[in-house]
Amino acid sequence: MNSAVEFVALLRAELGLPLTEDDLERALHELPGWESVHLLWLVTILEQHTGRRINVVDLLEAPNLRYVYDLAADEQGVRDAR
């Protein structure tokens, strides 16, 4: 996951939600089809993909997917050159 584009593609594939890059800035509750259980799935997906543990407390504070991407990128030591 080297970019926000790859992050969104991963979420579309794994969560089955019709997400676009524009959705990164939207509040989680505003995302099409988003349910609270998606956050739990997201932890598992990101941990599997990065090979590292994701801080669930930080993830629970996520206002949007951009925050989640930044958190996962920090965990990987990778930053998107937005």
Q: 17-29: per-residue pLDDT in tens? A: 999 999 999 999 9
Residue ranges of the chain with pLDDT lower than 50?
Answer: 77-82
Q: Which of 81, 62, 77 is nearest to 11 (CA)?
A: 62
pLDDT for res 82:
39
As beta bridge partners, residue 64 has 27
Contact 54, 43 (CB under 8 A): yes
